[in-house]
Amino acid sequence: MTDGASFGGRRIYLLVGAVGAGKGTQADILSERLGLPHLASGDLFRRATREGTPLGEKAKGYMERGELVPDDVTIAMFMEELSKPEAARGAILDGFPRTVGQARALDATLAGQGEGISRVLYIEVPPEDLVERVSGRWVCPTDGTPYHLVTDPPRVPGICDKDGMPLIQRDDDKPEVVRARLAQQVPPMLEVIAHYEQAGKVSRVDGRGTIDEVTGRILDALGLGQAVS
């Protein structure tokens, strides 16, 4: 399996998975290894909410209820990110697209520029592991870097390794919101997977095991294991 890197110039990788599957964790690692920006829809929405922008005001209620933010808002935000110079060589997309409507909009935008998705990495983790992962998660308030109390602790307890900020817990990691996120967001996610499976773009990655093991499987799926490790 190869990563389709030559198609259209830019390398666009999608990381897809349920809440807590490890998308953000793996996207950070891939971003560093491949030298591509990590674009996370959840982080973009949280930043807009913190800054009180019109986008943030629109997204806030949906996120608090564990619902998806409407497609029109999400698509516009993400297309703007993809058009920035930082994404000129490609990007790792974490959390977008999450509906078939978003996937079609992304495909159409890329096709209009003679580009396409390089690879969709579907990180699969059993539901019981997801709840455990999310309940132990603490994140950096600056850029959303995730840590886990047991499996991925920061070097200094409670402090981000990258910028020294005190870590926080996300509001939508409350158990009742996590349950809503899983119930409402998994069905459209499976439709996105089916959409890209029809195009032969999906690599299914076992998301269990250590973070390093999952990274190894992703690099293998991209045919990049030897090249960048």
Judged by the rule CB under 6 A, the positions of this chain that interact with ligand AP5 are: 17, 19-25, 41-42, 45, 62-63, 66-69, 74, 95-96, 98, 102, 133-134, 136-137, 146-148, 151-152, 172, 181, 210-211, 214
Please state the closest distance from residue 215 (CB atom) to ligand AP5, in A. 9
Q: Is 46 a catalytic residue?
A: no
Residue with smaller CB distance to ligand AP5, 5 or 140: 140
Q: Is 137 a catalytic residue?
A: yes
Catalytic residue among 23, 46, 58, 217: 23
Q: Is 170 a catalytic residue?
A: yes
Cβ contacts of 92 within 8 Å, gap of 6 or more: 13, 15, 27, 30, 31, 34, 36, 37, 38, 39
Q: Is 33 a catalytic residue?
A: no
Residue with smaller CB distance to ligand AP5, 91 or 134: 134
Q: Are strands 137-139 and 119-124 parallel, antiparallel or unpaired?
A: unpaired
Token pair of 191 as six digits: 């439709």
Please state the closest distance from residue 6 (CB atom) to ligand AP5, in A. 27
Please tell me the number of Cα atoms within 13 Å of 49 on its side-chain side.
18
- Tell me how far CA of residue 219 lies from CA of 93, 161, 193, 214, in angstroms: 16, 24, 19, 9
Please state the closest distance from residue 104 (CB atom) to ligand AP5, in A. 13
Q: Which one-letter amino acid corresponds to residue 179?
A: R
Q: Could you tell me which of 101, 91, 84 has the C-alpha nearest to residue 13?
A: 91
Please state the closest distance from residue 16 (CB atom) to ligand AP5, in A. 9
Catalytic residue among 46, 98, 201, 217: 98
> Counting runs of H as helices and runs of E as strands, what totals does the chain give?
9, 7
H or E stretch covering 137:
strand 137-139
Residue with smaller CB distance to ligand AP5, 6 or 229: 229
Q: Is 204 a catalytic residue?
A: no
Residue with smaller CB distance to ligand AP5, 18 or 222: 18
Catalytic residue among 11, 181, 201, 217: 181
Residue number of the CB closest to ligand AP5 reads: 42
How far is residue 118's CA from residue 222's CA, in Å, rounded to a whole number? Answer: 9
Residue with smaller CB distance to ligand AP5, 10 or 98: 98
Catalytic residue numbers, as ranges: 23, 98, 137, 170, 181
